[in-house]
Amino acid sequence: MNIDKITMGVCYYPEHWDKSLWKEDLLRMQENGIEVVRIAEFAWTIFEPKEGNFNFDFFDSFLEVAKEVNMKVIMGTPTATPPVWLTEKYPEVLNSTKEGVLYRHGCRRHYNYNSKIYQELSSRIVEKMSARYGNHECIIGWQIDNELNCELNEFYSESDTKAFRSFLKDKYESLDALNQAWGTVFWNQTYSDWEEIFVPRKVVSDSTNPHQVLDYTRFISDSACRFAKMQSNILRKNIGENIFVTTNGMFGNLDNHRMTKESLDVYMYDSYPNFAFAMEEDPKSSRNLNDRKWSRNLSEVRSISPIFGIMEQQSGANGWNSRMEAPAPKPGQLTLWTMQSIAHGADFISYFRWRTCTKGTEIYWHGILDYSNRDNRRLQEVNEVSKIFESIKELAGAEYKASFGVIKDYDNIWDAQLDEWHKRIEKVSQKGIFQGAQLTHTPMDYVYLNKNTDLEQLKKYPVLFYPHPTIITEDRAQLLKDYVYEGGKLVVGCRSGYKDITGQCVMEKAPGLLRNMTGTDVVDYTFVGPGDEESYVDWKGTQVKASVFNDILEPIEESRSLGTYVNNYYKGKSGLIEKEYGKGKTYYFGGTFSRETTEVFLDKLDISTPYKDIIELPQMCELGVREKNGIKYIFVLNFDNAEQEIYIKSELYNMYTKKAEIGKIKLTAFETKVYKIKR
Amino acid sequence: MNIDKITMGVCYYPEHWDKSLWKEDLLRMQENGIEVVRIAEFAWTIFEPKEGNFNFDFFDSFLEVAKEVNMKVIMGTPTATPPVWLTEKYPEVLNSTKEGVLYRHGCRRHYNYNSKIYQELSSRIVEKMSARYGNHECIIGWQIDNELNCELNEFYSESDTKAFRSFLKDKYESLDALNQAWGTVFWNQTYSDWEEIFVPRKVVSDSTNPHQVLDYTRFISDSACRFAKMQSNILRKNIGENIFVTTNGMFGNLDNHRMTKESLDVYMYDSYPNFAFAMEEDPKSSRNLNDRKWSRNLSEVRSISPIFGIMEQQSGANGWNSRMEAPAPKPGQLTLWTMQSIAHGADFISYFRWRTCTKGTEIYWHGILDYSNRDNRRLQEVNEVSKIFESIKELAGAEYKASFGVIKDYDNIWDAQLDEWHKRIEKVSQKGIFQGAQLTHTPMDYVYLNKNTDLEQLKKYPVLFYPHPTIITEDRAQLLKDYVYEGGKLVVGCRSGYKDITGQCVMEKAPGLLRNMTGTDVVDYTFVGPGDEESYVDWKGTQVKASVFNDILEPIEESRSLGTYVNNYYKGKSGLIEKEYGKGKTYYFGGTFSRETTEVFLDKLDISTPYKDIIELPQMCELGVREKNGIKYIFVLNFDNAEQEIYIKSELYNMYTKKAEIGKIKLTAFETKVYKIKR
Amino acid sequence: MNIDKITMGVCYYPEHWDKSLWKEDLLRMQENGIEVVRIAEFAWTIFEPKEGNFNFDFFDSFLEVAKEVNMKVIMGTPTATPPVWLTEKYPEVLNSTKEGVLYRHGCRRHYNYNSKIYQELSSRIVEKMSARYGNHECIIGWQIDNELNCELNEFYSESDTKAFRSFLKDKYESLDALNQAWGTVFWNQTYSDWEEIFVPRKVVSDSTNPHQVLDYTRFISDSACRFAKMQSNILRKNIGENIFVTTNGMFGNLDNHRMTKESLDVYMYDSYPNFAFAMEEDPKSSRNLNDRKWSRNLSEVRSISPIFGIMEQQSGANGWNSRMEAPAPKPGQLTLWTMQSIAHGADFISYFRWRTCTKGTEIYWHGILDYSNRDNRRLQEVNEVSKIFESIKELAGAEYKASFGVIKDYDNIWDAQLDEWHKRIEKVSQKGIFQGAQLTHTPMDYVYLNKNTDLEQLKKYPVLFYPHPTIITEDRAQLLKDYVYEGGKLVVGCRSGYKDITGQCVMEKAPGLLRNMTGTDVVDYTFVGPGDEESYVDWKGTQVKASVFNDILEPIEESRSLGTYVNNYYKGKSGLIEKEYGKGKTYYFGGTFSRETTEVFLDKLDISTPYKDIIELPQMCELGVREKNGIKYIFVLNFDNAEQEIYIKSELYNMYTKKAEIGKIKLTAFETKVYKIKR
């Protein structure tokens, strides 16, 4: 992304062929600070109204207008919505339910990635579009498809079964190896022919072989990555060097890190925090942090692209005609959510969408303007945001500064989807760690372990949580060991290390590959049942919550127990083990990381609230920090629909007002601030 | 319906070929006041045991007995339950799930209206039956099919797709027009061939194009209407002039007004208020008004047929073997529900059914008699009802007298089914207005806007509520305008006028076609979110609840704001606008009409509790009024399972006792009264 | 079962071909008291890797090891999990959903019983295995299939439809008879050809003809019984005389009594009481009795086989990867549940499983050992249980001593599945009677009425409850009458006798065939609705709860009313009728038997707490009694996770400690005791 300042864009749908209307719209955007429009991502039929008949008149016209007013353009490839002539002629391009019912024309994203004919027709339209517009002077970037894996991220078509077999042949080479990896001796599932293998089908109790499902999930991700790469290869061939390739996410069953590395220059996120206030939510309960949960998503995005874009930033109420009803954002929330994105690393913010659509499924997915096109409070707010952008433009490219990291990897993420034991603990800890960090104002990063992850990346963090590395590999175990040896502190929770990469349990004493490294022996383990009291570990007088699951521990190999359980049948047994190794330490905790537990760990490991000497914030405000050239930019985001007070202990420079501030400062409802500290 | 007094009937199933048993049954009915039996509506196989082999012996015999004892008969056409030989030989006659699974023999109403073969075979059986019995002296009426659109009111067979294409070709003539109307440019849904169009199929997220769904719903209604008309045409050809044609309802996705106008002499309703006490209900909570909700249904029926019949009036507990379990009606409830029907305009009451069925799915859908045929309390109660009928017989033909009307139209009803934003507000207001009217004893009518509705119909009402005319047309807007000009008061709520007849949002300032007429500009709008406080508008000191959704208003064109919001971000903005026009006024209210809100409007518009000078009733009693030849008949219905007291302020004539009454009068649990007032 | 002492086994999965590992495992089992292993029940592909290629090397090797160490073996036939080559080549062997979607390879139990090809291939593998191993000296028994009707107990394949037609032709001979039995005149369902009949298919509202469904359920049971008998016939031909044939259950839609009589020497149960503590349960509420509910299942098992085995006794936490998560059993629970089985009549206890599976769906269905094979607390507990077995070995063969019986029959069980009115009352009474018996320490038996049941079996019980004999036959009515005449006391509840064997309601005054015998006339009946107060019958001053449903009664034929309703519209009407007949009495109670109601009946009929003069127990402890040669063995089971105190009034001999005990005795959490009393 060749962007050198915080930049504003908008998603635009030039539905009617009306050049004067387009010009009027583009000029009005520019008056309000918008410099980029995204177009064309659902326009296949406009380009190819009949199979093989291509027509570029419509977008030629539009780009003429864009050129005339000097508007920058991001162009989408239209493969998310195949034309009806395509799906009716070639129904094999459709995705299907597990029971074999095809998803038909009428919504979006109903195709499958693995149909040969869909790959051919998609390649051709991308080739045609990029050949024509690849060097158009207005176009600064291309978006591949739209929201890969959104709506559906499971695929059950016949094309998928064929591709799954290829994927497995490449991976295992022999059926024996596959039978081993899938543990097919259990329940007599042994395969004797590749043709006997399918993507998951309808089975009894909806319980397909779990190792098959794990590989199937990897296959879905692989399919999406291949589909993106197919398009990216075509684009890169045809477009100019300074033009970026991106796509927008972020959806499940997809290794976004791999896809971004393979196919994109930058990753973009579609940020809709207003879901937190949707009609079926309970936003009066603050425990879920409402729209602050999006800070967690943005941290995930940052792990993919340290500096990223927001392709769709919420600008109005959301809702399809059939679901997802939500109130309008309140005055100030559009600004708040924009600044939330920037605080977390976004340098490009494109609002969804210019004008609210008057037809189809998304009539309630509001844009900046209403159906009538009238000036309104949201356009006014966008205009004011553009002034903020001007005031903070220097921070483009600044990196988010985290005080600790949380390790994730796709194997464990996907295993936790199919394994209810794994899911229960993962859910609690992922939420708990995020909440603990948020509420103590301790910035955190996610760090993904994959084949590209190296020690240097880990060493940026004095402390790493890897809450439940159920699946662990030798490489990853070694990397973690090196990290600790070099002085890092590694915290893991219950259920670590008992599975291998196939998702099978290892026939070793738990925590398997993490056993020596953590000096921990798991002698027994159990869910904390619904009939049991809440579980706690006494850590030198502090009662640490150990919810959901408990590993009962014993120290081995020079490690020592730091705390013991205070209830259930394992009262008095160890629940926390510390081991020193090289310059660092490991902590094996027998439970999950709830918010309270996380707060204890942050405190005991001395990384909690790193800016407490500079600024004090109430819980309702988020603190975010970006840094560039030794300058720290401190974001304060008031997520409360009420006034909040912060306390600045040493003078800070307010970038909006260009004035120094100290002492008690009031923030109005939803107000944001960006302060500068020089080193 | 050629009925000149309140008349009692019963549904009868002469299962065993036993003339002496039939005679015994018919005489016993007559002893208890029953003068009419309905028969034959599921008897196809008895008439046509094999394809093309017709046999009338069974019903010939039955009608001989009927003639002998002088029992009147309503005969049903048997098309609701095709024989198994038919559905197995011609599976294309079956309805199907959206996923393409056929609904098979084993329940009822599994056919589709659009199969040519089903239309042919249905026409033939109706032709044969009506040719034979069309002039039988016992038969006073014919019922077409049974409960059209009951069980299923969505149809997904191949026959339906073919018919849907014809329907659309007739409607739009060109694909361009259809693409415009369905907004197919959104998400690349443009059709290039009529063969690409289907009834809704399985799509991603179950979210088919909403404009398609709206037309599809119109098509379902059209299909049912055509099916009824096909039968009606045959019947009218073969039956005597004084014999009425009817059918029984009332079910969704069906324009009952059109069907009745096209095909029926009178519309009949199947009234089962005991559903309110079913095992899955919460009848201890009085807010839903329990069985009084049926007064709302009966008001709907009255809008179709001002004087109507009840083809099936509940006489015992309901329930299939598989669902809908309910307790027995308590002593007095059979009478109460019968009088509820009459109060609302029914002159014919046919109980369902004579004897409880001993076999099949409806063994718990109790009749008057139990399985054993013994005398019981319900037969005794029927007998007593027949004496009431005698005492009030003069009021046959009297019209229900409403103090205000609520406008409805099928476009908005069906749009509210597919549009969750529309549904949420419609549900609250429809319920709230009914409840407000009930509890203030203010009789109300429903008034349907369709091509037959004229100004005279509207002028009967000093006040009309049209709670959420989301879809509005020029014709309807003009009619409303004329109504106001002539002195009417029109009340509309939030979300008015923002859609056109296709269900697309208009690119106009809201409320679109109602803007000038109501003098209202909707400058912003939002759901009242689950995190927000309940919303209120201050109307000169009265806090009016404005739940669920709020339009933020500004007065234009000589209108004036009557009240402002008291909370949320639009506090102080207008929530209620009044405009005078001609002799009348419009009121645009920014919220929905909850019960409390309705009560305020009824009061402020001076139509609340119109009989307060004559009679005072507690909330648990319903007041209903019918009028004929200047005489008002006042129904008092005690829906409470406890004694209630009313207060008569000026002497009334009790029709049951034939005595004048004044002062405090006690009603026992479930007791009813009919009083007469001469003008 | 040729077992002369309480014996311990284990389920073993010799996955890897490793004789030294096997030997080590078997010796380790023997060291801990295990004398029997069950093997091979899912091993089809190991025996027949390709169609028709048989290979016995693997299990030959295993049995050599077993012989070497003198381990006894139960061998399973592998038909629960067909090989994938089989299901892919012959998809007609698969079960299907009602909508016609086949259940595919990937889980287990996906076959149907009625496929000819599956019957052939199953017969062949059973023939081959039993021919080879039928006289192997280690093998003491054979298990047919595994958990018949588990996972799925409804079958909708084409093979099932064909077999269903045969079943019906055998049963009814003519379509006329079938049409009569199914009441097809209702809703025009009359069949004119056998080919028109199917197993239930997709129908409107999912409400198939109830009489068809009742026959269909009988057909499913018949199919499973035939499948077991097919295998049993082959086994008996090939195996030695002293070798027993069994299978393990207990699952729905299966007449286990018939199957056991036809095909088995002994019935075995799979006992997993830990389900009571699963993550989705609410075990803090004691009203459901948690794991004591398994005593109810064990009583059912006892009615099939007075002395039985436990093929799978829980030894660790349960759970599939996809569902059924549960905490680990606490120390003591393994012992408690083992003794619960023995108390109820088990003489053989086989734990599931030796080592926890590391792969596939059941990685959380824990065995005694964990994945690592390490010694653990559960193995230690098994070892201690083996010492208990030694101390109580003499009681093998002792019979459970019940103080009263509860009559059941499959017709009513299956009718209550399809009939929601029947289901609601059955559920309450079955639970209530069990709870009342448990909490008053009154041992009870289930007694099944079938063609083999005779008067002698009934006469063992001074009192029999038959809570809701909705369906009753002349034979059964006569048997009950004889029982009462001979001095028995028979208690029936509401809704008795109103259906015949087809599930049709009888056109007689209720309770039909039980009318004269109980001297009861049911003049009216109703659910106790959700808007009604809880219902009570005053029985001489005791308020007896009469929940859910009420029959309103009148005494006839020299019977007398013992109590009247105290509320609802039938206040003052009789709710309880007693009639003397011969030396006995009948009681017709108008309501259901909740726990409280049961306790009143047990008390009034003088059978409550039969051991109160010997031992007093708190509610948290279960009392069980087995008897042999005039010696009573009293089991005390503390189901509480806390100390409990019992009080022994006259000296008892503690079999574990071999010491006499009297007075107050404390039981630790989950502790069990077995006392001996000589007559």
One domain for residues B361 and B473: no
Q: Which residues contact residue A387 at a Cβ distance below 8 angstroms, ignoring those fewer than 6 apart?
A: A33
Any chains having at least 3 CB pairs less than 8 A from chain C are A, B
Question: Are the Cβ atoms of A190 and C377 closer than 8 angstroms?
Answer: no
- Residue B382: inside a domain: yes
Mutate to test the interface with C, among B24, B84, B314 (most CBs of C within 10 A): B84
pLDDT averaged over every residue in chain A: 97
B348, B364, B394: which is the final residue of a domain? B394
The one-character DSSP state at B600 is: H
Here the tokens at position B353 are: 């059914």
CB B618 within 8 A of CB B644: yes
Query: Do A574 and A620 belong together in one domain?
Result: no
What tokens does B106 get? 């084993």
Q: What angle is formed at CA C409 by the lines to CA C406 and CA C410, rounded to 5 degrees?
A: 140
Among residues 93-152 of chain C, which lie with CB inside 8 Å of chain A? 95, 97, 99, 101-110, 151-152
Neighbours of B4 (CB within 10 A): 11
Query: Phi and psi at residue B442, in whole multiples of 5°?
Result: -110, 100
Are B419 and B503 in contact by the 8 Å Cβ rule? The answer is yes
What is the rounded distance in angstroms from the CA atom of residue B633 to the CA atom of residue B652?
10
Kindly state whether residue B1 falls inside one of the protein's structural domains. Answer: no
Tokens for C420, please give them.
């929601």
Q: Which of C99, C187, C502 sits opposite B101 (nearest CB)?
A: C99
Q: Are strands C631-638 and C615-616 parallel, antiparallel or unpaired?
A: unpaired
**Sorting pLDDT into bands at 50, 70 and 90, what band is B1?**
low
What mean pLDDT is predicted for residues A525-548? 97
CA triple B656-B660-B661, angle to 5 deg: 95
Report the percent of chain C where pLDDT is more than 70. 99
User: How many Cβ pairs closer than 8 A exist between chain B and C?
Assistant: 182
**How far apart (Å, rounded) are the C-alpha atoms in residues C445 and C112?**
33
| Judgement on whether residues A540 and A646 belong to the same structural domain of the protein | no
Is B321 in the same domain as B301? yes
By C-alpha distance, which of B671, C107, C295, C490 is closest to A206?
A: C107
Domain end: A569, A604, A639, which one? Answer: A604
Q: In the structure, what pLDDT confidence band is assigned to residue B284 with cuts at 50, 70 and 90?
A: confident
- Strand, helix or coil for residue A471: strand
Residues of chain B with Cβ-Cβ distance to A83 below 8 Å are 188, 190, 192
Contacts of A85 in chain B (CB under 8 A): 192-193, 196
Report, as an integer, the average pLDDT of C486-508. Answer: 98
Residue B474: inside a domain, yes or no? yes
**What's the pLDDT band for A208 if we cut at 50, 70, 90?**
very high
Residue C286: is its pLDDT beyond 70?
Answer: no
pLDDT tens string A463-476:
999 999 999 999 99
Residue from A154, A322, A324 whose CB has the most chain B CBs within 10 Å, to mutate: A322
Per-residue confidence at B679, pLDDT binned at 50, 70, 90? low
Closest Cα in chain A to B528: A327
pLDDT tops 80 at residue C1: no
Contact across the interface for B510 and A372, Cβ inside 8 Å: yes
Q: Is the pTM of this model over 0.90?
A: yes
Determine the distance in angstroms separating the CA of A212 from the nearest CA of chain C, rounded to an integer: 9
Using a CB–CB cutoff of 8 Å, tell me whether C20 touches chain A: no
Q: Which chains touch A (3 or more CB pairs under 8 A)?
A: B, C
Mean local confidence (pLDDT), C92-104: 98
CA-nearest of A447, C36, C227, A551 to C235 is: C227
CB atoms inside a 10 Å sphere around CB B538: 16
Q: Is residue B656 part of a domain?
A: no
Residue A132 in any domain: the answer is no
- pLDDT over threshold 80, residue B286: no
Answer yes or no: is pLDDT of A308 > 80.
yes
Identified catalytic residue from C41, C147, C362, C622: C147
**Which residues fall within 8 angstroms of residue C478, CB to CB, at 6 or more apart?**
none
Please answer whether residues B416 and B462 qualify as being in contact, where contact means their C-beta atoms are separated by less than 8 angstroms.
Answer: no
Residues B101, C99: Cα–Cα separation, whole Å: 6
Is B282's Cβ below 8 Å from some Cβ in C?
yes
* Residues B502, B504, B509, B514, CA torsion sign: positive
Closest-CA distance, A509 to chain B, in angstroms, reads: 45
Rounded average pLDDT over B374-380: 98
C108 contact residues in A (CB cutoff 8 A): 187-188, 204
Torsion of CA C283, C285, C290, C296, to 10 degrees: -150
Rounded average pLDDT over A244-252: 98
CATH of the domain at B300: 3.20.20.80
Same domain, C669 and C579: no
* C-beta of residue C536 within 8 angstroms of C-beta of residue B337: no
Q: Domain span at residue C649?
A: 615-678
Please check whether residue B478 touches C, CB under 8 A.
Answer: no
pLDDT the model gives residue A15: 84
Is B45 within 8 Å of chain A by CB? no
Cβ pair A187:C110 closer than 8 A: no
Q: Give yes or no: residues B345 and B454 share one domain.
A: no
Does the distance separating the beta carbons of B510 and A358 come in below 8 Å? no
| Paired residues of C9 in beta bridges | C36, C350
Q: Which tokens sit at B511?
A: 């409320």
Question: Would residue B147 show up in a list of annotated catalytic residues for this protein?
Answer: yes
The shortest CB-CB distance from C103 to any of A100, A184, A204 is to A204
Instruction: Give the closest residue to A437 by CA, choosing from A244, A574, A613, A296.
Output: A296
Are A574 and A674 members of one domain? Answer: no
B-chain residues near C195 (CB < 8 A): 88
How far is Cα B493 from Cα B598, in angstroms, rounded to an integer?
A: 11
Q: Are residues C426 and C561 in the same domain?
A: yes
Residue with tokens 């234009």: B556
Burial of residue B662, with CB atoms counted within 10 A of its CB: 0-12 exposed, 13-18 middle, 19 or more buried: exposed
Q: Please provide the average confidence, as pLDDT, over all residues in chain C.
A: 97
**Sign of the torsion angle spanned by Cα atoms B553, B554, B556, B559:** positive
pLDDT confidence band for A83 (50 / 70 / 90): very high
Residues A490 and A626 occupy one common structural domain: no
Per-residue pLDDT tens for C200-249? 999 999 999 999 999 999 999 999 999 999 999 999 999 999 999 999 99
Which whole number is the average pLDDT over A178-194?
98
Give the SS3 label for residue A420: helix
Cβ contact, residue pair B45, C203, below 8 Å: no
> Which phi and psi (to 5°) does residue B157 adopt?
-80, 170
Compute the half-sphere exposure of residue B149: CA atoms within 13 Å on the CB side of its CA. 24
C9-36 pLDDT tens trace: 999 999 889 999 999 999 999 999 999 9
Give the C window 497-516 contacts with B, CB below 8 Å. 498, 502, 504-510
Whether residue B285 has pLDDT greater than 90: no
- Which residues are within 8 A (CB) of A623 and not within 5 positions of it... i.e. 6 or more apart? A441, A443, A611, A615, A617, A634, A635, A636
- Residue C89 in contact with partner chain A when CB distance is under 8 A: no
Residues 158-187 of C with CB under 8 A from B: 182-187
Distance from C-alpha of B329 to C-alpha of B336, rounded to nearest angstrom: 10
In whole angstroms, what is the distance from residue C210 CA to residue B362 CA? 10
Q: Do residue A524 and residue C376 have CB atoms under 8 angstroms apart?
A: yes
- ipTM attached to this prediction: 0.97
Do A447 and A505 sit in the same domain of this protein? yes
Residues of B in contact with A84 (CB under 8 A): 189-192, 196
Query: In terms of domains, do A516 and A646 share one?
Result: no
Are the C-beta atoms of B162 and A336 separated by less than 8 Å?
no
- The chain C residue lying nearest A502, using CA atoms, is C359
Pairing, β C615-616 against β C644-654 = antiparallel
Nearest to A42 among B188, B421, B505 (CB): B188
pLDDT of A285 > 80? The answer is: no
Q: How far is CA C164 from CA B322, B663, C114, C255, in A?
A: 22, 71, 9, 17
Residues 6+ apart with CB under 8 A from A440: A599, A602, A608, A609
Whether B55 contacts chain C with CB within 8 A: no
Are C598 and C657 in the same domain? no
Residues B429-465 pLDDT 10s:
999 999 999 999 999 999 999 999 999 999 999 999 9
Tell me how far apart the alpha carbons of residues C641 and C638 are, in angstroms, rounded to a whole number: 8
Which is the catalytic residue, given A35, A41, A48, A147? A147
Q: Tell me if A120 is assigned to some domain.
A: no
Given an 8 Å threshold on Cβ–Cβ distance, is C43 in contact with A200? no
* A103/B202 touch (CB, cutoff 8 Å), yes or no: yes
Closest by CA to C557, choosing from C588, C521, C586, C511, is C521
Instruction: Select from C279, C320, C331 the Cβ nearest to the Cβ of A530.
Output: C279
Residue A172 has pLDDT above 70, yes or no: yes
Please tell me which residue of chain B has the smallest CA distance to C100. B101
CATH for C674? 2.60.40.1180
Number of domains in chain C: 2
Whether residues B192 and A322 touch (CB distance < 8 A) is answered with no
Q: Can you tell me the distance from the alpha carbon of C178 to that of C209, in angstroms, rounded to the nearest whole number? A: 12
CB C80 within 8 A of CB C146: yes
Q: Quick check: is A147 catalytic?
A: yes
Q: Could C371 and A210 be called an inter-chain contact, meaning their C-beta atoms sit closer than 8 Å?
A: no
pLDDT tens-digit series, residues A364-407 = 999 999 999 999 999 999 999 999 999 999 999 999 999 999 99
Query: Which among C604, C626, C642 is the end of a domain?
Result: C604
Residue A649 belongs to a domain? yes
Q: How far is A58 from chain C (nearest CA, A)?
A: 46
Assess if residue C520 is contained within a domain: yes
